[in-house]
C-alpha cells in the first residue's frame, strides 16, 4: 500500500467525504447553532484547535488566532506557549481552553494548569498522544522530555484545578471509559493530524467512544475539518463541538477579522445544512441523517 494511502490525514479526509446527507424539508425551520458548554453560551459549536507557535505563520499569530475566535463568539483552544503568551491570549476576551503536553515532570504540569486557571481559562487539559516518539521511546518536544501518564496521574491533574479538565487525543472506547472514571470533564477525539499512519479517522472512532462515555461528559473532535458540512457530519454523529485549526492558519496573515469571518461563514453553512435536514438546534442532531458509502 503506498504512502499516500497510509497517511492518516488523507484517510480522515476520505472518510469525511464518504459520509452522505439526506434532506428533510417538511416541518423544518431556521436553525440555531448556539452552544452551551461549561455554564457558558457560545455563538457556534465551531472551536479553534489547540495550536502553538503561530508566530512562525504570522507576527502575533497566537494573539490574532485568539482574537478571531473571540470576535466569532467561539471557544478558543491553545497549546504550548509561555505564561506571558497565554495571558495575552486571554486578554483578547477569547474564552480559552489551555492544553498542556504530557511533560515528564508532573510538578511542572500542575504549575501550568494552575497558571491557566489563574489566568482566566475556562478549562484546561492534556494532549496525551504526545507521550511517545514513535521509535520506542518517550517523546521530546522542543527539548522538553515527555512521558506517558497513568490514569492515576491524570486523576491527580483533574483534581489539581477547580475548572474542567479535558483529555485530548482519545481514539478508543477503552481510553474514553478511563477518562470518565478519573473525572475528566470532556474528551477530544483526535489523532493529532496523523501522529501515526493508518490511524482510525476520528469520526469512525466516534460512535464507539460515545457509547463508552454514555452521555456522562461531552465529546469533541478535531483533525481535518474544513467546512460547515464537515462540522455538521461530526455533530450529527454525536460530537458536542468541533475544533478547526490548520484550515484557519493561512488566514492569520490577514488578521483576526479574516479568522472570525471564516468561522462565521462555516457556522452559516452549518445552519444552512441544519435547515435542510430538519434540525432546529444542536440538541436535535440526529445520526440517522448520515449515510455511509463503501469505504
Residue among 76, 192, 247, 291 flagged as catalytic: 192
User: What's the confidence (pLDDT) of residue 1?
Assistant: 39
For range 29-57, the mean pLDDT: 96
232 phi and psi angles, rounded to 5 deg: -55, -45
- Bridge partners (DSSP) listed for residue 141: 144
**What tens digit of pLDDT does each residue of 186-240 get?**
999 999 988 899 999 999 999 999 999 999 999 999 999 999 999 999 999 999 9
CATH number of the domain residue 100 falls in? 3.20.20.70
What SS3 string covers 105-154? CHHHHHHHHHHHHHHCCCEEEEEHHHCECCCCCECEECCEEECCCCHHHH
C-alpha to C-alpha distance for 243 and 96, rounded to whole angstroms: 13
Residue 128 near residue 149 (C-beta atoms within 8 A): yes
Instruction: Map residue 225 onto helix, strand or coil.
Output: coil
Show the domain range for 137: 3-292
Mean pLDDT of 27-55: 97
Task: Cell numbers for 38, please give them.
Answer: 461549561
Lowest mean pLDDT among 55-59, 79-83, 137-141: 55-59
Q: How many domains does the chain have?
A: 1
* Residue 295 predicted with pLDDT over 70: no
CA angle 160, 109, 64 (to 5 degrees): 105
What's the helix, strand, coil split of the chain in %, to 5?
A: 45, 20, 40
Residue 294 has pLDDT above 70, yes or no: no
- Indicate the DSSP class of residue 203: H
Is 192 tagged catalytic? yes
Cell of 97: 481552553
Distances from the Cα of 190 to the Cα of 81, 225, 244, 254, angstroms: 20, 11, 11, 28
Measure the CA–CA gap between 229 and 248, rounded to whole angstroms: 16
Amino acid at each position: 500500500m503506498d504512502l499516500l494511502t497510509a497517511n492518516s490525514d488523507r484517510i480522515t479526509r476520505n472518510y469525511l467525504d464518504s459520509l452522505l446527507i439526506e434532506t428533510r424539508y417538511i416541518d423544518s425551520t431556521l436553525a440555531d447553532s448556539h452552544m452551551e458548554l461549561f455554564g457558558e453560551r457560545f455563538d457556534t459549536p465551531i472551536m479553534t484547535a489547540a495550536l502553538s507557535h503561530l508566530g512562525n505563520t504570522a507576527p502575533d499569530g497566537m494573539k490574532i488566532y485568539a482574537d478571531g475566535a473571540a470576535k466569532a463568539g467561539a471557544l478558543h483552544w491553545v497549546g504550548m506557549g509561555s505564561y506571558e503568551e497565554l495571558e495575552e491570549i486571554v486578554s483578547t476576551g477569547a474564552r480559552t481552553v489551555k492544553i498542556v503536553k504530557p511533560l515528564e515532570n508532573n510538578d511542572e504540569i500542575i504549575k501550568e494548569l494552575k497558571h491557566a486557571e489563574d489566568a482566566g481559562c475556562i478549562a484546561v487539559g492534556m494532549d496525551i498522544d504526545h507521550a511517545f516518539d514513535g521509535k520506542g521511546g518517550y517523546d521530546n518536544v522542543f527539548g522538553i522530555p515527555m512521558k506517558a501518564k497513568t490514569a492515576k496521574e491524570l486523576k491527580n491533574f483533574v483534581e489539581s484545578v477547580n475548572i474542567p479538565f479535558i483529555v485530548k487525543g482519545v481514539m478508543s472506547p477503552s481510553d474514553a471509559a478511563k477518562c470518565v472514571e478519573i473525572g475528566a470533564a470532556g474528551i477530544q477525539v483526535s489523532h493529532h493530524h496523523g501522529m501515526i499512519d493508518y490511524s482510525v479517522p476520528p469520526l469512525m472512532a466516534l460512535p464507539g467512544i460515545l457509547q463508552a462515555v454514555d452521555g456522562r461528559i461531552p465529546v469533541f473532535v478535531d483533525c481535518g475539518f474544513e467546512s460547515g458540512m464537515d462540522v455538521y457530519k461530526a455533530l450529527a454523529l454525536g460530537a458536542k463541538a468541533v475544533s478547526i485549526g490548520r484550515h484557519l492558519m493561512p488566514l492569520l496573515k490577514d488578521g483576526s477579522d479574516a479568522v472570525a469571518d471564516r468561522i462565521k461563514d462555516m457556522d452559516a453553512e452549518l445552519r444552512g445544512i441544519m435547515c435542510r435536514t430538519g434540525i432546529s438546534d444542536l440538541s436535535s442532531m440526529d445520526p440517522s441523517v448520515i449515510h455511509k458509502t463503501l469505504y
